[in-house]
Amino acid sequence: MCGRTACTLAPDEVSRACSYRNRGGRRRQPRWRDGDADKYRPSYNKSPQSMSPVLLSQRHFDKNAPVDECVLASMRWGLVPGWFKENDPSKMQYSTSNCRSESILQKKSYKDPLIKGQRCVILADGFYEWRRQEKGKQPFFIYFPQTQGPSQEKTENQDVPATSARNKENSVCPALESSPDLTEGGEAEGEWTGWKLLTMAGLFDCWTPPGGGEPLYTYSVITVNASPGLQSIHDRMPAILDGEEEVRRWLDFGKVKSLDALELLQSKDILTFHPVSSIVNNSRNNSPECLQPVDLNSKKEPKPTASSKMMKSWLTSSAPSKRKQPDTCESKEQKTKAQCKRTGAVQQWLQGANKKARTK
């Protein structure tokens, strides 16, 4: 399953990280749908009912848009079927945060959006999963192995399982070229060297309150059997779209029919992971400590992996003034509002990295 994610990039960074090549071979950055950039809030600990960045075809909103044009939208996690009759979506009596790939065609909530071509890609730094143990559960953060910079060369001493090695040529959200094309807005953008976003297959629907009101766009993450590398943690995992071509095919509902698109929903052994603190268990906790690796066999600071070093290095070099900060003041256990306002994402990450890692 997938019940918690993290997406810490600011809206403009999400757009840069998801550049894609159109059919003419030019690299584009997807625009945010009008007003949706303001609805999205970066977070180290996203749970169902929160708003997340979703990539989809612009033709869902404009039938005259180019067939290969993508757009970013903010959608609420937990699909609300368009036919739902209640005035309050919270009155749904079953969970739709996840959709099993095996039963998509058996349940009306998912079959209808699939047949209509309402396919989307949910974007995240990664997702959390919990491994059952004799005493409670141990959380892990699971994500694409990261590379250092646009060259897409493997970082030195990459500390990931052999079964999780990733083919870097099939980058899902590849960095821009050294001589980037112009965006649709006419601006030349620099190379994206930040965190490579995880791309998960999903379905979305649009629900309008029976009594009238603003339409609500919601989504469900499609899940498959866990890959061999993740089976020790959980028996299910999100359906991962690996590479720009898979993302393109999943979103191209005009050319790629529904049954053909389902063939993309495979268990892929391409992810890496590390254990994290139990602080993530409470969805109100929203700080860099949620992502920080911990050593399960020691109370000392764990030896950093190549991917965790890449995350820390990128956060340190990023300009905090350009990032929309996650709301880290939701829990009473955390700092006061005044303290949070003075502490940006970079400082919080560094403070967390200097603390002793927690173990369960």
The residues carrying an active-site annotation are: 2, 129
Residue type for 135, please?
K
Residue type for 30, please?
P
Beta strands in the chain (DSSP E): 5-7, 20-21, 27-28, 31-32, 43-46, 51-57, 70-77, 98-100, 119-124, 126-132, 137-143, 198-207, 216-225, 236-238, 272-275
Distances in whole angstroms, Cα of residue 26 to Cα of each of 181, 217, 252, 305, 358: 6, 30, 17, 35, 46
**Cα–Cα distance between 32 and 123 in angstroms, integer?**
13
Residue type for 98, please?
N
Angle between helices 345-354 and 306-317 (to 10 degrees): 140
Q: Token digits for 72?
A: 């970013």
**Cα–Cα distance between 52 and 42 in angstroms, integer?**
8
Q: Look up tokens 């191209």; give the residue.
A: 252
Residue type for 7, please?
C
What is the sign, positive or negative, of the torsion defined by CA atoms of 285, 291, 292, 298?
positive
